[in-house]
Structure 1
Amino acid sequence: MQEQTFKVTFKGKTVRGCEQSQAIANFAKLFKLPASKAEQMFDGKERTIKKSLSMEKAGQLRGVLKKAGIKVSLIKNESELPALGSGDWELNEPGTVILRPVTAPEVHIETSHMKVSLDESALENAEDKEPPEVDINHITIDDSEEPIIEESEVEVPEFNFEDVEVDEPGTVIVNAKKVEIPDIPVDALSLDDVGAQLVKKDKIEEPEIDISSISLNKD
């Protein structure tokens, strides 16, 4: 897979807090240009410093220029297709049919051995079957108005509430158990003075990057 590349562009802008004169001097020193030539680079026009750098190298270059007071931008390059030689392609004449439709071949079915009989008497007649007889002599219909299903009355059970007692409104039914606060010894603990630095930060020196091989692309 082809690595993603970036181009570094410059529009003559400086980092906030850096004077333009100081940025011009740093630009001339970094790219080994005369002061007059470096001053022309801060006219506001967009210029490409590097066309194709990896993400790591482009970030390193931006960090160096930012430290010098020079503001640049990283623009992602579009993925480029590998160059193909002229012998890899062939062009047909206009109107040439590239793909021809495929026609299914005709299938011949032999029917000379088949005969059709016109004699209707030779056809088998389906027999008419009578529906089966079902004996319904034992089935009777009740003409009375009495319900078919007799309803039975369900008696409501009686509950005895004589042994049930009701507390007064607001009575606490469940007593919460009081949990005692544990005794934690703090005699061995000590507090620093107000404003004391709890964590000491080690200062890491910025790495020195060799930019002697970097040149300004004037295109």
Structure 2
Amino acid sequence: MSINLDQIITITFTLFAVIDIVGSIPLLISMKEKMGGLRAMPVTIISGVLMISFLFVGQQFLKILGLDIRSFAVGGSIVIFLLGLEMVLGHEIFKADANAKSGTFVPIAFPIIAGSGTLTTIMSLKANYGELYIVIGVAINLVIIYTVLRSLVWLEKVLGENGLTAVRKFFGVVLLAIGVKIFATNISSFGSLTK
């Protein structure tokens, strides 16, 4: 069986853009400080499990819960919006315990890394590409995620306190915009419920 490199590259870059791990660096540093550390490997594994699981059983799982993709996306967008608000205003919204375990699943693995946008994108890719190619694309992104998470201390030193504050506020606004966009795109499906 021949491997189509173009498809792997397309899927990898699509997921990279949606996950936006580089853009999440200020938020991840902020969460790391709040929790007294960040466990790179568990976060990467949980994110990968969420993405791969959603590829194979996402639609069925949401159906069992009586949810659809749009409801899932709206819920994720609210969490993303609150994270952005926290970064811009500097007020704590997520009261994380002072240990690295508490935030590993929420909000780091979900929705920061494997958020509703990422999971919805994976299901959309499934309509056009083979599952094997999507799994390879996810795996490549997980390597990038792990590398970034392991480099947070170094990145924090490079940015410095003032640089970190400026970048955090900038990406806070970006997160607010992403949250609003995901919310606005998916909330229209609830219009029929109010009629």
TM-score calculated relative to the size of structure 1? 0.18
More strand by share: 1
> Which of the two has higher C-alpha Rg?
1
More helix by share: 2
TM-score calculated relative to the size of structure 2? 0.20
